[in-house]
Amino acid sequence: MKAMTYERYGAPGDVLELRDRPKPKVAPGEVLVRVSTAAVNPVDWKLMAGYLDEMMPTFFPVTPGWDVAGVVEEVGLDTPEFRPGDEVLAYARKDFLHDGSFAEYLSVPVRAVAGKPASVDWNQAAGLPLAGLTAYQLLTRLGLSGADTVLVHAASGGVGVLAAQLARAEGARVIGTASPANHEFLRGFGVEPVSYGDGLPERVRELAPDGVDLVADFVGGVVDDTLAVLREGGRHGSVADPSVAERGGRYAWVRPSGADLSVLAGLVAEESVVVPIAETFPLDRAAEALELNQGGHVRGKVTVRVAA
């Protein structure tokens, strides 16, 4: 099969190449997915640079990519949940780095897989898993309710825009930080935008004089601003700043969950949540896709089309 791989750590344009790789084996409790579309996340190029080398075992050559949408090609033993031909999506993180979704085929533990609703296109399906689960799991752990006024830090980013929509779908009022260029974008999702930076607490208090009930941080380094606008008894958490745990908040790391992903896919199918797509690249241009994401100014998800 064809796959984008790297043999050493480095920048995408320096180390990533399209190569022939063996088709993955399918272990018990796994499904083999014929990949339609993959999606780029910041963790992909961070792993490629070796930033998480002390955390995860790496077996070169490595194919990047944890987000995948495709069609079940084969099922392993003890896998009654799916059958060949099923359209699926998954946050396909494993316990080590070797196989990834920037390839024609990928084996995925069934616990991470959800069925793809027919009305959800391949790009949205591929762009949903990691970002959507990150947003959903943090909000769930913080006890989001429809009665909350919520502040989302980095609300126009790939995770933040999904968190904002999830909170709105629950019935919450949402205030979101973003650059002025993205304010109209956020208004389209029912979010009240405010500019980040100096004076943020005052701008939030202008909209919510009594403070907010819940703060979800997807950028890091904003815990002082968070505490300045949080009501007494309010909840806050971050996926980017472990120090929140020392200041009354919750630090969360996303985990694969087919059950959670099924909930999210259903919300996309009913159009309560939209996965904004910035740009799609063919597989042989995956390095460009990673570099675009690495630039940090993308509105929405960058996807990689694998199937012809």
The confidence band for 241, taking pLDDT boundaries of 50, 70 and 90, is very high
Q: Give the phi and the psi of residue 259 in degrees, each rounded to 5.
A: -65, -50
User: Given this model, what pLDDT does residue 299 score?
Assistant: 85
Q: What does each C-alpha distance from 258 to 37, 110, 278 come to in angstroms? A: 18, 8, 25
Residue 19 carries which DSSP code? E
Cα 138-243-252 angle, rounded to 5 deg: 20
Q: Tell me the average pLDDT across 149-162.
A: 96
Whether the CB-CB separation of 61 and 50 falls below 8 Å is answered with no
Per-residue pLDDT tens digits for 71-127:
999 999 999 999 999 999 999 999 999 999 999 999 999 999 999 999 999 999 999
The confidence band for 202, taking pLDDT boundaries of 50, 70 and 90, is very high
131-251 is a CATH 3.40.50.720 domain: yes
CATH topology of domain 2-128+275-305: Quinone Oxidoreductase; Chain A, domain 1 (3.90.180)
Per-residue pLDDT tens digits for 279-301:
999 999 999 999 999 987 788 89
CATH 3.90.180.10 range(s) for the chain read 2-128+275-305
CATH 3.40.50.720 range(s) for the chain read 131-251
The contacts of residue 93 (CB under 8 Å, 6+ apart) are: 66, 112, 130, 256
Residue 81: is it exposed, middle or buried by C-beta count within 10 angstroms (0-12/13-18/19+)? middle
Cβ neighbour number for residue 119 with a 10 Å cutoff: 11
User: Given this model, what pLDDT does residue 216 score?
Assistant: 98
Cα 275-280-283 angle, rounded to 5 deg: 130
User: Given this model, what pLDDT does residue 225 score?
Assistant: 98
